[in-house]
A and B are shown apart, each in its own frame.
Chain A
């Protein structure tokens, strides 16, 4: 499924070949304006491929939108059946018939009722068709499925000659016609109608691969006009047929410098302030239960709070489930749904083929005109298609959203240890901001961590943050980054407690030492006081002793002088010597 843009090819062709718009979404784009005006186009395909619906859409849109009345000649379904079948698409055939905008003619060919004998022609059919065309001035004609005639009439050579004449006649009439044909074995139509219709041939295909059905459309031939030759996926739903719009990969979309909040204040900070760029594409990838949807819910909640319209395409949960789950983290999404700001599209991936999903999203975007789109999770699309297809589809989607200036947030589930799955890497080049949610396993528990893997055009944090889901939303906290590595969860809490304990122990030790010192000082001072007391006591005693001795000596001296005086000593002071001599 390649991507191409025929827009540059047909601009010059339009002037040479007039085209009649079908009003079928996407088809007019692919063909550069619709079907060739005034010529018959063959639409072929297997049973149930949507031929009749394509044809009736062409007719009804012609009558309603382009003021071109039309004739529907049905060779299979009766008018009543047809009216009922298309009523579900909102086409009011009886009303249009009433207003003379459409004529329905059911041509019944019952072989059992018909006997053929001899030569005939189909002038009756021509007259009938001509009358119908003239009665309302029809510009468009559908013959559905003219091949039924081959079952009703025996003489095939007459039939073939008459069909050839019919197509020429249609061209002469100048009506834009659709002829439908059943697909044959090895040929486009069972009866080789492609031989007669040489202007444009469109092939519709309805194939089922691995129980998933996909409708595809291919322009086999479009004489005089450039056209895409690829298969274009198309879908049929309650809004009718839509051919998958082909978007170009031209990077010509405008960019906005406006930033919008992710809804999580700390995450905005990690992104360098105000949040994501408006119109950018954000990928949130992570393992199961990592909190991808919660990040998405925050983003939706924030956008709705700003009064912006949001579209969420979820592939794994119902709306009720999402609302309930997000309520548990304190986000009330129901209020936004009620106010018409938030629209949910929940569909199992296996419900449709990939293209169908894409075109449904496309349609929803076109109708709802949101400013924010969330796809949750894109990885589940891998269950219905191969990686290359998913990649191509997402590329288209992202491109489309970018061109519309819509901010997109996609989540992607990764498995196991390999955090960056191939899908992620495949689309990562298209993504502007890539958030990676990791689970950090240690000491018997899993904790969530968030990195900003890349974010174009903003100075973003290179730090991992621990990601907590609380009853009031997502909280980002710093992880413990210490000598023993990155710690989260209870390990972080434990580590923090341990650190607090260590500090406490240190404080206590200091306290103890201080007290010891104090005690020592007190002891020292007590001892000092005691010593001083003792010293003072002894000092006093000694002083008294010294005084006594001194006074005794003085008295002794005085006594001797007295004695000497009394003995009449001849020389003061020699008395002693004399006395000693005298004694000898």
Chain B
């Protein structure tokens, strides 16, 4: 997958923000295997579990380093759920779907 592919899919869900829409931001640092894997995992989880109720922004910190501080980014990849509150952070390549769903409050923690 190319970088442009990730960027192209940023606004792909095309829904307006509302209370049940998940506004998600994926922070990456360049086209690393980890970033690509994380994006692929995220897209898959969203399509399966949040159909039509999500929006994903991908932010590459290499190009926009100034954005790291604002969302308290340390680790990459980091997925930040900005809405609905509270803000949640999931770090890692999102390879564990169950944990991602717990993190996004889609599924209660077992």
Residue numbers of A with Cβ under 8 A of B are 105, 107-109, 113-125, 127-128, 130-132, 149, 153
Contact = CB atoms under 8 A, between A and B. Distances in A.
Given A115-B99, A117-B96, A149-B74, A124 B61 contact: yes
A567 B69 CA distance: 195
A119 B95 contact: yes
10 contacts: A105-B69, A113-B88, A114-B89, A115-B99, A117-B94, A117-B96, A117-B100, A118-B37, A118-B96, A124-B73
Nearest to B73: A124
> Main SS of the interface on chain A?
mixed
Contact of B103 (A108, A109, A117): A117
B61 A114 contact: no
Interface string B17-58: 000000000010100001001100100000000000000000
B65 A120 contact: no
A121 B75 contact: yes
Contact of B27 (A113, A124, A130): A124
Given A122-B75, A124-B74, A131-B68, A117 B29 contact: no
B46 to A, nearest CB: 15
A124 B25 CA distance: 14
Interface of B: 27, 29, 34, 37-38, 41, 61-62, 65-66, 68-69, 72-78, 86-96, 99-100, 102-103
Given A118-B37, A123-B61, A128-B69, 11 more contacts: A105-B69, A107-B72, A113-B89, A117-B91, A119-B93, A122-B76, A124-B74, A128-B68, A130-B65, A131-B66, A149-B74
Given A117-B96, A118-B95, A149-B74, A124 B68 contact: yes
A116 B95 CA distance: 10
A358 to B, nearest CB: 43
Contacts of B90: 114-117
Contacts of A124: 27, 29, 61, 68, 73-76, 78
A120 B61 contact: no
A153 B86 contact: no
Contacts of B93: 117-120
A397 B90 CA distance: 59
Given A115-B99, A127-B61, A153-B75, A120 B92 contact: yes
A405 to B, nearest CB: 54
Contacts of A130: 65
Contacts of A105: 69
B2 to A, nearest CB: 20
B1 to A, nearest CB: 17
Contacts of A117: 90-96, 99-100, 103
A132 B27 CA distance: 18
Q: Which of B29, B41, B87, B102 has most A Cβ within 10 Å?
A: B29
A107 B69 CA distance: 8
